[in-house]
Structure 1
Amino acid sequence: GLATTQGILTYVGKPLAPFAGHPHAYGWQGLYRQNYPVLGKRWMANCDIPDLDLLPAHYGIKALQFSAGLELAPLHLGLWALSWLVRLGLPVDLRTHASRLLAASNWLDRFGSSDGGMHVIITGTAPDGSAHTRQWFIIAKDGYGPYIPTIPAMVIAQKIAAGTAFKPGAYPCIAQVTISEYLDALRMYPVETYTY
Structure 2
Amino acid sequence: MRVIVIGGLGNFGARICRRLAMEPGLELVATGRKPVSGSTFFGPLSAITTAPLDIDSPRLQSQLADLRPQLVIHCAGPYQGQDYRVALAACAVGAHYLDLSDGRDFVADFRANVHTAASAAGVLAVSGASTLPGLSTAVVDQLSAGWARLDSVQVAIAPGQQAPRGEATIKAVFGYAGQGFKRWHNGRWATVHGWQNLRRFSFEGIGQRWGAACDVPDLELFPARYPGVREVSFHAALELRIQHLGLWLVAALRRVGLPLPIAQHAARLNRWANVLLDRFGSDLGGMRVRLKGVGADGRGVECTWQLTAPGGNGPEIPCMATVLLACKLARGQLHQTGAMACMGLLTLDEFAPEFARWGFAQRVEHTVT
Q: Common fold, TM-score beyond 0.5?
A: yes
Question: Does residue 37 of the first structure (1) align with residue 210 of the second (2)?
Answer: no
- Report 1:7-156 matches (<5 A): 7-16=172-181, 18-21=182-185, 23-60=190-227, 61-107=229-275, 108-156=277-325
Per-residue deviation, 1:9: 1.1
Q: Deviations over 1:8-67 (max 9, x none)?
A: 111101101x22215021001110111111111111111111111112211223210011
For 2:247, give the aligned amino acid: L
Asked whether the equivalents of residues 250 and 260 of structure 2 are also in contact (C-alpha less than 8 Å), the reply is: no
Aligned length: 195
Per-residue deviation, 1:80: 1.1
The residue matched to 2:363 in structure 1 has which SS? strand
Per-residue deviation, 1:97: 3.5
Per-residue deviation, 1:101: 2.6
For 1:7, give the aligned amino acid: A
Question: Does residue 4 of the first structure (1) align with residue 172 of the second (2)?
Answer: no
Asked whether the equivalents of residues 45 and 69 of structure 1 are also in contact (C-alpha less than 8 Å), the reply is: yes
State percent identity of aligned pairs.
Answer: 37
The residue matched to 1:24 in structure 2 has which SS? strand
Per-residue deviation, 1:184: 2.4
Partners in 2 of 1:165 and 1:6 — Cα distance?
33
Give the aligned CA root-mean-square deviation in angstroms: 1.5
Partners in 2 of 1:96 and 1:148 — Cα distance?
26
Structure 1 regions of 5+ residues with no counterpart?
none
Distance 1:173 1:96, change over 3 A: closer
Q: Deviations over 1:168-196 (max 9, x none)?
A: 23321201111111112221012111111
Asked whether the equivalents of residues 75 and 105 of structure 1 are also in contact (C-alpha less than 8 Å), the reply is: no
The residue matched to 1:152 in structure 2 has which SS? helix
Structure with the higher fraction of residues in strand conformation? 2
Partners in 2 of 1:26 and 1:156 — Cα distance?
33
Q: Which has the larger radius of gyration?
A: 2
For 1:169, give the aligned amino acid: G
Q: Deviations over 1:84-122 (max 9, x none)?
A: 001111132222332343233212111111110010000
* Structure with the larger RCO, 1 or 2 (CA within 8 Å, 6+ apart): 2
Structure 2 regions of 5+ residues with no counterpart?
1-165
